[in-house]
Chain A
Amino acid sequence: MEIYLPIAEISQNIFFLLSIGFVAGVLSGMFGVGGGFLTTPILILSGVPPAVAVGSEANHIVGSSLTGFLNYFRRKNVDIIMGAILLLGGVIGSASGVFLFRLLSIQGRVEEVISFTYILFLGSVGIYMLYESLKTRKKKKLGSLIKLHEHSWIHGLPFRIKFRRSKLYISVIPPLLISYIIGVLAAIMGVGGGFILVPAMIYLLGMSTQVVIGTSLMQILFVSITSTIMHAYINQTVDVILSGLLLLGGVLGVQMGAFVVQRVSGEVLRMLLGIIIVCLCLFLISELVIDPKYIFILDLLQ
């Protein structure tokens, strides 16, 4: 069954869109990531103009991350104070990222820099997650004591705050700095940044996997609201029919994801996310290496 998307100006199969939404929903419920890093390329490959795919995806994430956020909030797995600090750093970061992007593009060759840093980032984060989760699993089987986060001098910097939900008493400087850097990267690379933020919170801040997902969803919710409004206002690229169908498909997905999280241990979750990130990294590398079908790529200007 086909449906016409008025902003994308193409017709798409309803069930195809619903199933993409479902997959994104599972990812969002399980890992606290928006899922945009997966759905946006699929939409573009299926013929949706890239700008419309990005804009509508932002709107879709507003809905799916709200559902996820409320789920985790109810189970007391959201650290509001931590989320607010991460948001603050993220907003400042993405503002300077947009500025940096303009600076780089004036000098040219911005895209090479972006794709290399992106691949480097994804590759190292993904491989580290796999390595760590497998090690933890082994240790658990042997029955030895595990300590996920070790206190270092970074956590002991001034302005220490008690993060009750995360069971942490650390300085606000590391979370601010991390979210700032991710904000810069996200703005340059045009992604939400959830899949970098989640590992950063787990490994650099030492939060537990469950709280990380809820808190990440809170951050993603606010970021996607801002970017939906920006995309709609500046580019007119938000297709509500498209994002509505993705949301509808995600209904079941988000619940299933959250359901699985309740029954799976933290290191298994981290391992799965690690696998997904490594796969994404390999996909990006293959795009650079394998001969493309089209050497010329078209973008419609209004």
Chain B
Amino acid sequence: MKLFLIFYLVFFISIFKANSKKLIIADISDNKINIDVGFKGAKLLFFGVIDEEGDVVVSVTGPRKTVKVRKKEKKMGLWLNSDTKVFFDVPYYYYVASTRPLKELNAENVFQINQVGLENIRFAGAEEQEERSSWVNGIIKSMIEAGRYNPEQGLIQISDKRLFKTELNFSAELVDGQYLVDTLLLKEGAVIAARRSFINVSKTGYGEKIYKMANDNGLLYGLTAVFFAFIFGFIVHEITRRFYA
């Protein structure tokens, strides 16, 4: 692995020299994650080269989905559902890593525009100030608890002022779709280079077949599910009947 990496980096640097306009080059150890029945999460290596000294910030954003949120409120001493709202474009995964803590980079504007950091993720449906503060924070809290958002910022290691690398960890709670990996190179609070890479997460094997059938032909899927449950129930009965008889 290490040897392979060094080879890769040397290869990169050689391209780098040929094309000096690119200030940043980055790649991921694998561009796709396959979710099979035994899926336990994935670990990818994200690495690259920068041409100018600066800070590197990497954010990974999962597919955006529509989410219905219910709010509980205490009324007459009882916790009841008080309100529901629908939010669009809620990313189902979020992770950020950088060479230094984000606060030290003095680039709050840049982070807001590029949605870097949990507090800067934008959801459609949350335009009002009150919604922004309570509802969105509620969503983020739930996402963290579910293991979809990482509250802790990752660290990017830089060696020789040029090479950077970081590990991207994906928990087993992964939805399929396209994940965006955005890399920013910052200098004195301003972006001097940016790069976007993709990771495709898809279901494979039995998982994919089951998912496809359930979505393409729900009726047939339901009938098959009932059929298998029937066979199962019948076999169990037959076995124990013989066992006790």
Segment at the interface with B among A60-68, A161-169, A271-279: A60-68
Segment at the interface with B among A129-137, A173-181, A198-206, A230-238: A230-238
B140-166: CB near A (< 8 Å → 1, else 0) gives 011101100000000000000000000
Complex: chain A residue closest to B82, CB-CB: A295
The residues of A that contact B210 with a CB separation of less than 8 Å are: 6-7, 239-241
Is the CB of A47 closer than 8 A to any CB of chain B? yes
A244-275: CB near B (< 8 Å → 1, else 0) gives 10010001001100000000000000000000
**Whole-angstrom distance between the Cβ of B229 and the nearest chain A Cβ:** 4
Question: Would you call A4 and B229 a contact (CB within 8 A)?
Answer: no
Question: Would you call B233 and A231 a contact (CB within 8 A)?
Answer: no
Question: Would you call B138 and A7 a contact (CB within 8 A)?
Answer: no
Segment at the interface with A among B2-10, B17-25, B60-68, B112-120: B60-68
Question: Would you call B67 and A301 a contact (CB within 8 A)?
Answer: yes
Is the CB of A146 closer than 8 A to any CB of chain B? no
Is the CB of B1 closer than 8 A to any CB of chain A? no
Question: Would you call A225 and B66 a contact (CB within 8 A)?
Answer: no
A263-302: CB near B (< 8 Å → 1, else 0) gives 0000000000000000000000001111110111111111
Question: Would you call A294 and B79 a contact (CB within 8 A)?
Answer: no
A92-119: CB near B (< 8 Å → 1, else 0) gives 0000000000000000000110010000
Known: A67-B233, A225-B226, A289-B77. A2 touches B70 (CB 8 A): no
Is the CB of A3 closer than 8 A to any CB of chain B? yes
**Whole-angstrom distance between the Cβ of B57 and the nearest chain A Cβ:** 27
The complex places the Cα of A225 from the Cα of B223 at a distance, in Å, of: 9
**Whole-angstrom distance between the Cβ of B83 and the nearest chain A Cβ:** 10
Question: Would you call B214 and A4 a contact (CB within 8 A)?
Answer: no
Interface size bracket, B side: 35 or more
Question: Would you call A64 and B233 a contact (CB within 8 A)?
Answer: yes
Known: A232-B218, A299-B70. A243 touches B203 (CB 8 A): no
A contact residues, total (Cβ < 8 Å)? 57
The residues of A that contact B79 with a CB separation of less than 8 Å are: 287-292
Known: A66-B230, A66-B237, A243-B229. A294 touches B141 (CB 8 A): yes
Known: A67-B233, A232-B218, A296-B139. A3 touches B38 (CB 8 A): yes
The complex places the Cα of A296 from the Cα of B81 at a distance, in Å, of: 9
Question: Would you call A11 and B68 a contact (CB within 8 A)?
Answer: no
Complex: chain A residue closest to B141, CB-CB: A294
Name, among B139, B214, B229, B232, the residue most crowded by chain A CB atoms within 10 Å (CB to CB): B229
The complex places the Cα of A7 from the Cα of B207 at a distance, in Å, of: 8
Question: Would you call A288 and B78 a contact (CB within 8 A)?
Answer: yes
Is the CB of A147 closer than 8 A to any CB of chain B? no
Name, among A11, A59, A231, the residue most crowded by chain B CB atoms within 10 Å (CB to CB): A11
Complex: chain B residue closest to A247, CB-CB: B232
Question: Would you call A6 and B206 a contact (CB within 8 A)?
Answer: yes
The complex places the Cα of A66 from the Cα of B70 at a distance, in Å, of: 37
Question: Would you call B233 and A66 a contact (CB within 8 A)?
Answer: yes
B204-245: CB near A (< 8 Å → 1, else 0) gives 001110110011001101111110111011101100110000
Known: A4-B35, A7-B214, A66-B230. A301 touches B65 (CB 8 A): yes
A203-232: CB near B (< 8 Å → 1, else 0) gives 000000000000000000000010011111
Question: Would you call A70 and B70 a contact (CB within 8 A)?
Answer: no
Contact of B236 among A62, A251, A301 (CB under 8 A): A251
Known: A3-B37, A71-B237, A296-B138. A63 touches B175 (CB 8 A): no
The complex places the Cα of A241 from the Cα of B208 at a distance, in Å, of: 12
The complex places the Cα of A233 from the Cα of B215 at a distance, in Å, of: 9
Complex: chain A residue closest to B222, CB-CB: A232
The complex places the Cα of A290 from the Cα of B86 at a distance, in Å, of: 26
Known: A11-B173, A296-B71. A289 touches B236 (CB 8 A): no
The residues of B that contact A230 with a CB separation of less than 8 Å are: 222
Contact of A296 among B65, B142, B223, B226 (CB under 8 A): B142
10 new A-B pairs (CB below 8 Å) besides A47-B146, A241-B210, A244-B228?
A3-B37, A3-B38, A6-B208, A63-B233, A232-B218, A236-B214, A240-B225, A294-B145, A296-B135, A300-B66
Can you give 19 A-B contacts (C-beta < 8 A)? A2-B38, A3-B38, A6-B206, A11-B173, A60-B229, A62-B229, A63-B232, A74-B241, A229-B219, A229-B223, A232-B219, A233-B218, A233-B219, A240-B210, A241-B207, A247-B229, A247-B232, A296-B70, A301-B65
Q: Top 6 nearest A-B pairs by Cβ distance?
A: A296-B138, A232-B222, A66-B233, A11-B172, A63-B229, A6-B207
